[in-house]
Chains A and B, each alone.
Chain A
Amino acid sequence: SYELTQSPSVSVSPGQTASITCSGDNLGEKYISWYRQRPGQSPLLVLYQDVKRPSGIPERLSGSNSRNTATLTISGAETMDEAVYYCQAWHFNKVIFGGGTELTV
């Protein structure tokens, strides 16, 4: 079965750039979405169709997707960015989520 693989955790200092990756076979051929989930909250869409930001999501969040890896990049990380981030894609009529990456700032 198709899997999306994420590192369990990423840690950066405030102001640094955080890169959260999501890997899967030929992932670059799919659209990837990213969600942020803070403790006790519902997931929040932060990127869709690889690179697009919903209204209200700051420009310092950006994305890329090529070959087998999609990346969510958070520039100038802030403590408010601390959360678990999930990638998501469709694969043959099924939604797949990555296991989540916990970002510590």
Chain B
Amino acid sequence: QVQLQESGPGLMKPSETLSLTCTVSGGPLSTYYWSWLRQPAGKGLEWIGRIYINGNTKYNPSLKSRVTMSVDSSKNHFSLKLSSLTAADTAVYYCAREVCPTQGGFFESWGQGTLVTVSS
């Protein structure tokens, strides 16, 4: 069974760039799409974007100008960079595996999430 684990700093300052990594175990990166999502405390889920093993990406238009995703198959992990942070980016960040992207893609496996706080 695939497992996903997010890692990265828990505290960031405004205007900085967040870097998170999701390490995948129990399965290959290939043949799946890999996504980042986030959830502010007490609020709903927001999709940030996804990446495929060949590097193809798709980002949420509302975040596109600040998001960069990458994948490293040799390390079995994929990464998120989010620039120009503000307090509004404070949230739990999840990585997830997406299945059936052409038939109503859905997220069948999730990481445990990592809290990122943006504060001066």
Contacts and interface: CB of A to CB of B under 8 A. Distances in A.
A and B found bound together: yes
| Contact-residue bracket for chain A | 20 to 34
Contact of B104 (A43, A44, A49, A93): A49
Interface string A79-102: 000000010111001111111100
B81 interface: no
Interface in A21-58: 30-33, 35, 42-45, 48-50, 54
A50 B104 CA distance: 9
A27 to B, nearest CB: 12
A43 B99 CA distance: 15
Contacts of A50: 104
Contacts of B105: 90, 95
B107 A33 contact: yes
A31 B103 contact: yes
B45 A86 contact: yes
Nearest to B45: A97
Nearest to A54: B108
A45 B108 contact: yes
A20 to B, nearest CB: 14
Contact of B61 (A32, A35, A48, A94): A94
Given A43-B45, A49-B100, A96-B47, 20 more contacts: A30-B104, A32-B104, A33-B104, A33-B106, A33-B107, A35-B45, A43-B107, A48-B99, A48-B104, A49-B104, A89-B104, A90-B104, A90-B105, A94-B47, A95-B47, A95-B60, A95-B105, A97-B45, A100-B44, A100-B45
23 contacts: A30-B104, A31-B104, A33-B104, A33-B107, A42-B94, A42-B110, A42-B113, A43-B94, A43-B107, A44-B110, A45-B107, A49-B103, A49-B104, A50-B104, A88-B107, A94-B61, A95-B35, A95-B47, A95-B60, A97-B44, A97-B46, A99-B44, A100-B44
Interface of A: 30-33, 35, 42-45, 48-50, 54, 86, 88-90, 93-100
The 7 A-B pairs with the shortest beta carbon distances in the complex, nearest first, are A31-B104, A95-B47, A33-B106, A42-B110, A48-B106, A97-B45, A99-B44
